[in-house]
Amino acid sequence: MKASKLKVGDTIGVIAPASPPKPEPLKNALSFLEELGLDIKLGKSVHKKYGYLAGYDQERIEDIHMMFKDSDVKAIICACGGFGTGRIASRLDYNLIGKNPKIFWGYSDITFLHTAIHQQTGIVTFHGPMLSSDIGLSDVHNLTRKSFEQLFHAKDIEYTNKLSPLETVVEGKASGPVIGGNLTLLVSTLGTPFELDTKGKILFIEDIDEKPYKVDRMMNQLKMAGIFHDASGIIVGDFKNCVPEKHEQSLTLDEVLKEHISDAGIPVLKGFHIGHSSPSIAIPLGSMGRMNTYNQTFIVETGIREDENK
């Protein structure tokens, strides 16, 4: 299911389903949304703190339910990631969410909710730059800001070498729904009711601040769980600061990635500015994608419907 496109005057729900956002960048980002002609409704937990969480679990759950239930809210944008979405996934009302399909946008720790919502309801969600952690920064890249345009215009997203240098890891062509997100969060779904299902799908992975040996461990777990074997293709996004300490004996990140995914025998492209990167390009998760390593292209169908929302 795809939500309707946005139009000027629509109301956006802003929530913090994981950690609390930084106030000043959030303020800057809310101004950006207003510049797009959107009205804003803040979740109750956005300004709350409970340790490393934006309020108690029940408060963050209530914000998600409230935003999906509110017919005036046409899109739900996450303020930031951090930690905590895995704690609330099993307590969400997916029947309520499925009956009220709307744009749901975020990444990083939000990956757990992307996976859970799409697999439980079939709703297409958006892996895209967030408010306080991306849009509200003083040095935000213009392409990061432009990613929000795909919510207003039903156009396919085409990623080529014009956006960043792409590298073929395993040659081939693949198609299927695009799923995935942050590697750490994808691994955390294994063994749960929301375990990542990659059968016939293009898997996207990215991460930040994980040393190669930790990436190695997580990639090995996905491989042993059959996650790579089941996928039709793999897209590798940005792995920001995933490097060993200086003078530390280590495999390189490239060596780790190639060793684990090359064995799957499916097409693999890497080098995408998707995830913890600048620019950070948004993509719809659940939409049909096509990848071609021979001309190094990745095309994803629009994540919204062209008809006006109601």
Give me the DSSP letters along the chain: --EEEP-TT-EEEEE-SSSPPPHHHHHHHHHHHHHTT-EEEE-TTTT--BTTBSS-HHHHHHHHHHHHH-TTEEEEEES--SS-HHHHGGGS-HHHHHHS--EEEE-GGGHHHHHHHHHHH---EEE---IIIIITSTT--HHHHHGGGGGTS---EEE-TTTS--EEEE--EEEEEEEEEEHHHHHHTTTSTT----TT-EEEEEEES--HHHHHHHHHHHHHTTHHHH-SEEEEEEEET--PPTT-----HHHHHHHHHGGG-S-EEE----SSSSS---EEESSEEEEETTTTEEEE--SEEEEEP-
CB 204 within 8 A of CB 183: no
Residue positions annotated with a catalytic role: 108, 206, 276
| 261 burial type by CB count under 10 A (0-12 exposed, 13-18 middle, 19+ buried) | buried
